[in-house]
Chain A
Amino acid sequence: MENSHEIKTTIYLALMMLASTLLSLCFFLHQSLRLDEAQSLWQTSRSAVGIITLVSQDVHVPLYHELLHAWRLFFGSSVPAARLLSMLFYLLGIPALYALGRLAYDRQIGLYAALLFSISPFMNWYGNEVRMYSLFTLLVICNQYCFVRLFKRMGDTHQGATWVGYMATALVGIFVHYFFFLNLLAQAAFYFLHADLFPARALRRFIIAAALVTAAFLPWVWFVHLQGQAQNQTPLLSIPTTINLFNTFAQFLFGFQSDAVNTFFLSLWPLTIIFAFLALRRGRLHSPVTEYLLLSAFLSVLIAFAISFITPVFVSRYLIFTVPALYLLLGNLFDSYAPQVGRFARSFVVLVMLVTLGVEIVSAATPVKEDYRDAATFIAQNATAQDVVALSAPFTIYPIEYYYRGQAPITTIPLWNRYAYGPIPPFSAEKLPAQVDSITADHQNVWLLLSYDQGYEQQVKAYFDTHYQRLLAITFSHDLTLYVYKIRYDTVRSQASAAVFAACMLPPKSDA
């Protein structure tokens, strides 16, 4: 009987992994490179030591980048190859989450959480992105597995292997993402609430673990401090609102949807009360593991939200590590319902997730899609050597230059020399005219590609709109728009190009 369950479970997990793999192969691996991914590729194209220096100027920690560097040496430097590394971690996360769920609750809940994980639009997105998020999630799951084993007192008396696993995952985890510390913080909070659940001398071992983590991490902190420029390399983040807070949870469940769809989901927030009401059943005792998962899923998010009022760090992908706990809690919640209600709730959530996954894949309105490939290809096909390509924000040069094979030179607004030491120069409205003059001198047309608004996009666009004739505007994806401006009127060439634009050179996507 037990064997039969094991075989079935293995088959289910294999099917989940297969489904996720197929999704990757069919859709996600072949998407255009996004800004963050381009940055990863650019950073990991350096030497191992160079990567550390570059990443220290960024907002991340370097372990994933070093792994990706090594991976690319073996598997090539194409975008799909790089994404495969993330996919590998993501796929490993499916059985890992099952194991955590089985340990925390039971086989059914573990399987359900793994199913949600495998069809999650949010997890699929980051499971196929050339970033550290799938590795981050996998490590958190492994770390939580060890932590739950500790307070459930599984294994041998001293739980030596579990402690080693716990410390190892913690040590590795902190070098994959800074937010791994929030995971540890939730665990510390749980320990102080339920110290009695842990084996004797657990406090001493946690202190040792904390000392090890601190000792290992301090050199990195010191090194980053020496570099001292991370704040200027990062995209602009604003102070989050409660809408961001709820959007984060909506994204965890339904992925990246258009504003209209998000509004639909968020407006129905009172319905979450029904979920709580239906869980009111006699004898459904709360368990410490549920408390732990609640802390893990919500405390971390709330802390990040609170910190963001001092330093904005509230980005849903940074909080991806709370997703496994959230899915486990959902599984447990539905398990607490009357059987028929539980089955309905489970199926309903799976259905909605599948639909939103489909929408996320197919819809052009998916807000996180960044079609730099089409934009670069279009520019390459249409811009001439007499034209110039201006990118703003400057760091979007990473994905563009990955695809761009055109004749027109590329520059940025504000002007930025990536190879010079130091951060990206800040935008200055006073310097803008001079910078634009320097860019436009000796060129026929400016191909201005705007994305990742850093707070000055409208000023740049307004400047061009008021000083030059706009020939074309094309939106390639959400927040990625190309404007073409005519600079000179004194040559035959410029007259000819104006005629071409006037003939409405329509791109494959929308024409603004």
Chain B
Amino acid sequence: MRNLINLVKINLLTFFDIYKLFQAKENKEFKKVIPYILLYIYIFGVLTVSIYYASSFALDGLKTLGLEHLLLVVMMVFTSIYLVFTTVFKVNKTLFGAKDYSILFSLPIEKNTIITSKFIVLYLANLIFMLIFMIPTYLAYILGTTTSYMFHIMFFVSFLFIPLIPTVVGCIIGSLLTALSARFKYKNFANIIFSLLLFVVVYYFTYNMQNLNALDLANLSQSIVNKFNSIYPVTKLYTNIIGNYDLFSLIIFIFLSLFIFVIFKNIIVKYFANINNKLSGVTINNKYIVKNIKLKSPLMSLYQKEIKRYISSALYVLNTAIGSILLLATLILLAVLGSDTLDAFIQMPNFSQYLMTSAPLVFAVFTSLSCTTHSSISLEGKNLWILKSLPVNIKNIFIAKIMVNLTIILPTILIASLILMFIIKLSILNFLVLLILPTIYAFFIAGFGLLINLFFPLLDWVNEVKVIKQSMASFLTIITGLIVSVVPIFIIPDINPNKYFILTGTIMLIITSVIYKVLFTKGVRIFKSL
């Protein structure tokens, strides 16, 4: 037991980077981490307040139907889906393929204890993420309704067990994705395709969930819960626990969650070596002879290396190409289905009309969601010494990273513009605006992401999820990108929007020029000091 507690403690310190706080305190460099702490508190505060107000709003609707308890049930459902998704990408390198296994397995500690500690860390991480979503909803609920002491007991006891099943489901999907991809020669490519398929399945599922003829938010909540009752029986149990304070349901809920968790953990312990080897397996070719080689310039070689880095990670591709994929998918649907069907499909009246009139800025929004550079410095990690010791201009290193981002975005903008031109007749001016404005945004987001990553580098990561999805750099880049692309949409004038687009483009061009100027001066200095 002492070993288990120690292992969990060490893993948690690493997982949440808490050890960095202690190090900073010991080195008397606490001032350096204060901005990070403040920013995290700010993000946490904004999220909590937003969820609280959204919950209060939803609660008012539910009250009219006497279904207020569904508020917590719906939040539990959404949080569970979120936990499954985040666990899918965390499982590799946390549960399987963890770098510390070689040391841990050599210690006189039971294998069961080591693997259990990894599970507990995943569970605790998920529990903390759940806190962020569930507690504001809980507060909105207790302040907006009358509750008995029994409710609080039921809520907090069940709360501790909610993450167990989503953690197991996420582990299974994540392991299957990795195992399936490992069977292919181009396993990274296969991993990207399978992950995309998973995304499509979830999208289709949520689309079906939306297609419930919901008249209002309250009915929608009821429909979501009904739908989930059939596929995730725990939802029904949770509804009974929260709505009826049903002790029997609580016991079943706890027993079921623990049973699934323990069974899964025991299976993993039993077949760990086999699964771990299969997941980390690589295709070995022993018949290589060095023959013809294609020479490249240093810049092209850097670019090719960056492209290979990019496509080597399904997580990186999925999280950064999502804007491009969504844009093309929407436009292809618009071309194939027609505007009326697309509006019905997306469940937004006049969506197509809106898309067409504000297309240059809508393209810009999707462009802003496709930033690869916000993680590109951090992802160098322990390899950074290679770039720093090479005789190349640091500007070229930056340009290679920016070129990767543009390689993802610019063809998308071109294809999307051509598809839209096919759907609606565009004047040459309209077409040029449609092409140029998102292109300026593409240069903006690529340069901005890189600069932000230089200001907030994270080089000592163990799992790249931390860099791509959870780092300060990725968060700030995505938020800023969304603000500068979404806000102008709301103030598009009815008369002569092209002039407005040109004005927006000019302003963005000036901002982008300033960013590149800073990147190639201060950014270079920061890179040297990393």
A and B: real partners?
Answer: no
- Identify the A interface with B (CB < 8 A): none
- Identify the B interface with A (CB < 8 A): none
